[in-house]
Amino acid sequence: MAGGGELGGGKSERRGKKGKRKAKKRLGFRLDMTPLVDITFLLLTFFMLTTSMITPQTMEMNVPPEIDEPVEVKESELLTVRIREDGTLFANMAKDTPEKYTLKTLQKYVTDKNIELKNRCIVVLKSSPSAAYGLVVSVLDVLNAAEPDILQGLKAAGINERKRKFTVSPFDKTEDEERIKGL
C-alpha cells in the first residue's frame, strides 16, 4: 500500500542537522495499519472460536438428612409423583389411584393442589431406577416452574409466605411398581 513509501523516502535533507532538531508536528503522518489489523483479526477469530458462551446452570436440591426414625406426615397432604421406567409420569394425592400426566399437565396439577392445601402439600418424587436422569430433572424443573404460580395463588388466598416441602424418596420395587402397573 501507499503508506510504506512515504515513511522513509524523500526527507533526506533533514538528516545531519542534529542541532536544529525541533519537535515539528508532522502533518499528514500516515502509518500502515494493515499488519496490525491482520494480527488483530487473527487473534479475534481465535478467541471468538475458543470461547464457549454457554455457562452451566445449576439446580439446587435439598434432601433430608439420613435419620433412623421416620417422619410422620399426614397422608392427605402427600402428593406423590412417580416416574415409571418407560418415562411415563404418574401423580396422585394420598391413596388415590395414580393417574397419567404429561410434564405440562403435571405442572398445573401440582400448582392446583398446592394452592388448595395452602402450603401444607408435601411433594414426594419417586423415580424408577431405570428412568432417564434427564426426565427426572425435567420433572424437578416443572416443580420449580410451578412455584411462581403457587405463590400467586397463595397470595390471592391471603397467604404471603411459601413453605415448600419437597423430598425424593426411593422407588419401592414391590409397592410402587404395583400401583402404577398397567396404567
Q: Which residues bind another protein (CB under 8 A)?
A: 1-3, 30, 33-34, 36-37, 40-41, 43-44, 47-48, 50-52, 54-66, 83, 127-138, 140-141, 144-145, 147, 168, 170
Work out how close the CB of 152 gets to another protein at its nearest, in angstroms, rounded to a whole number.
15
* Amino acid letter, 54: I
Q: Dihedrals φ, ψ of 162, to 5°? A: -120, 120
Could you tell me the smallest distance in angstroms from the CB atom of residue 123 to another protein? 15
Residue 159 Cβ vs another protein, minimum distance, rounded to whole Å: 22
Q: Of 93 and 147, which CB lies nearer to another protein in the complex structure?
A: 147
Q: In what order do the strands lie in the sheet with 122-127?
A: 99-101, 89-93, 78-83, 122-127, 165-170
Q: For another protein, give the closer residue by CB, 56 or 182.
A: 56
Q: For 138-149, give the DSSP string.
A: HHHHHHHHHHHH
Within a 10 A sphere around the Cβ of 46, how many other Cβ atoms?
10
